[in-house]
Chain A
């Protein structure tokens, strides 16, 4: 597609349920990122995938959060046993190579998650 595509765009879930958020990066982009945007907190880095390398999971806030990237393309962010503090916008981004090589990172429109 033309840009980074995320689904669902909006999700309301009950506390304790699991949710999956999907990201389809720009075709050919080897790097994929997940960020979280919480009200009043700015954007936090969650996880980074680059090609076939082991992902950097250092930003995941707890072991309830996990992510995978199958076939080097689509990524799924899973939140288990959701809590109200997980309510946020989850942003996916991709780039052709790393941004430390001067590549531009492109963001999707985000998945708005509300835990009630």
Chain B
């Protein structure tokens, strides 16, 4: 079956520090990969996505590259802000076949950015 493993938190960084949150996956087919973010008191929001190998998703200064050879989709940001404090979820969905509408999530990584 499909699975997503992401680094456990919590992660605490100072403002303007470099962020990496590791994510690796196991899938039977060729999935699409996603990062979702959950800000305090809000619902999950799509942050970025990549649908095929070597694609780079980017949004709000965050980037992640779909690496098929290492089955990874690590999230990076060069300079974090206090407003980036949230829980980040890596997820995948199969591009075809039964259950392709399902998202399989990692357990989430809580990021706290201090001034």
Contacts and interface: CB of A to CB of B under 8 A. Distances in A.
Contacts of B57: none
Contact of B107 (A42, A99, A102, A105): A42
Interface stretch (B11-19, B65-73, B77-85, B96-104): B96-104
A25 to B, nearest CB: 13
Given A40-B107, A43-B89, A99 B101 contact: yes
Contact of A99 (B41, B45, B93): B93
A9 B32 CA distance: 31
Given A41-B107, A42-B106, A42-B107, A98 B45 contact: no
Contact of B102 (A40, A42, A45): A45
B114 interface: no
A56 B101 CA distance: 10
Interface residues of A, number: 28
B43 A4 contact: yes
Interface in A87-116: 91, 93, 98-100, 102, 104-110
Contacts of B103: 33, 35, 43, 45, 99, 105
B93 A107 contact: no
A48 B60 CA distance: 30
A50 interface: yes
Contact of A100 (B41, B43, B96, B108): B96
Given A35-B105, A109-B41, 5 more contacts: A35-B103, A42-B89, A43-B89, A56-B102, A107-B44
